[in-house]
Structure 1
Amino acid sequence: MGRRADPLLGAVLLGGALVASAALSARWSPAPIHPRTYGYYRRLEKPSFTPPDAAFAVWGPLWAALAAAGWRLWRAKPSAARSRALAHWFGAQALNTLWLWLGFQRRNRAAMAVEAGATVVNAAALADAARRVDGPAAVLALPYLAWIGFAGLLSEEIWRLNEDRGEDGRRETADAP
């Protein structure tokens, strides 16, 4: 267990996970380049603390910090703690993508809110596991944890505020007698 991990393998695995997560997330995001998905998102009622669309550009720096954290964890001395931290790091990539797929591809707001809770738990576990392996990697994971915590609250509120809306984001009306 004392031998350091292969940097080429790390670059391929970490880079591949980041590229896949970013590409699929971009594909399913409610951005103006996806008019149908963006229209759906715009129709949903959102809480007063919803940030403006421009705030979602925070994902660039968050992914950069996660990439740096992942690289530091990969380069750390192999151990059970390192393996746990990397499992949570890879889990974060999958969960980020799953949240967008559930919420905007499948348009299942309840599942999106529940998944957001799982993502928050995983992000906290990532920061804690990283702390046990590499302090700077843990610090790099903290902005992600903060943003995911906020996104989890936002997801729950969007679900709650839109319980009476159909899959298309429009209000469902009762049939006339």
Structure 2
Amino acid sequence: MSTTRDGRLALPERRPLLTIAGVVGACVVLGAAGGLITAPQIETWYATLDKPGFTPPSWVFGPVWTLLYALQGVAAWLIWRSGLDRRIVRLALGLFTVQFVCNLAWSPAFFGLESPILGLVVIVPLWIVIVATVVAFSRVDWRAAALLVPYLAWVSFATALNYAIWTLN
């Protein structure tokens, strides 16, 4: 990456498909890291928990999360492409990073430590930061904000599921 004459960070103009693939790929790969903690617990600890009737089958989570991480990658790419020299873009990407870290912390809290209450301690702030990220993204590019809406909906559902599992166990 280079800089412009006035010192601003210049974004790559020549390879947008390569850069979007890189950002999406990074989000999907980093997001899949949680699966390494989750997978061994699905058939052992998680299988023993009482779950509410609205619990989806375990096989649903992998494809849904893969799609959501890909959408997050596209959204972050759209924001990044709008210019890192703008304060709102830096704020939006900062919030995106915070929510992504919170997202990655949920699997170790819930599955790794086998603790639905710790899962709630992580997922509630995650939900709040996702809302803040959607708002910040909407101020830069409405398409990026719209791409995060399914993620917000899924985390809302996951919060209700996490709460129900905690109360049932």
Q: TM-score, normalised by structure 2?
A: 0.81
Between the two proteins, the alignment pairs up a number of residues equal to 157
Q: Which residue of 1 aligns with 2:45?
A: 40
Matched, 1:74 2:75: no
Superposition RMSD on alpha carbons, in Å?
2.5
Q: Distance in 1 between matches of 2:80 and 2:131?
A: 19
Pair 99,144 (structure 1): closer, same or farther in 2 beyond 3 Å: same
Unaligned ranges ≥5, structure 2: 1-5
Q: Distance in 1 between matches of 2:76 and 2:43?
A: 31
Pair 50,2 (structure 1): closer, same or farther in 2 beyond 3 Å: farther
CA contact (8 A) 2:28 2:70 kept: no
SS at match of 1:146: helix
Q: Per-residue deviation at 1:84?
A: 1.6
Structure with greater proportional helix content: 2
Cα deviations by residue, 1:46-102 (Å, 9 ceiling, x for unpaired): 111111123212112111110100100111133221112111211222112100000
Q: Which residue of 1 aligns with 2:95?
A: 88
Pair 5,45 (structure 1): closer, same or farther in 2 beyond 3 Å: farther
Q: Which residue of 1 aligns with 2:67?
A: 61
CA contact (8 A) 2:24 2:70 kept: no
Q: Per-residue deviation at 1:6?
A: 3.6
Q: TM-score, normalised by structure 1?
A: 0.78
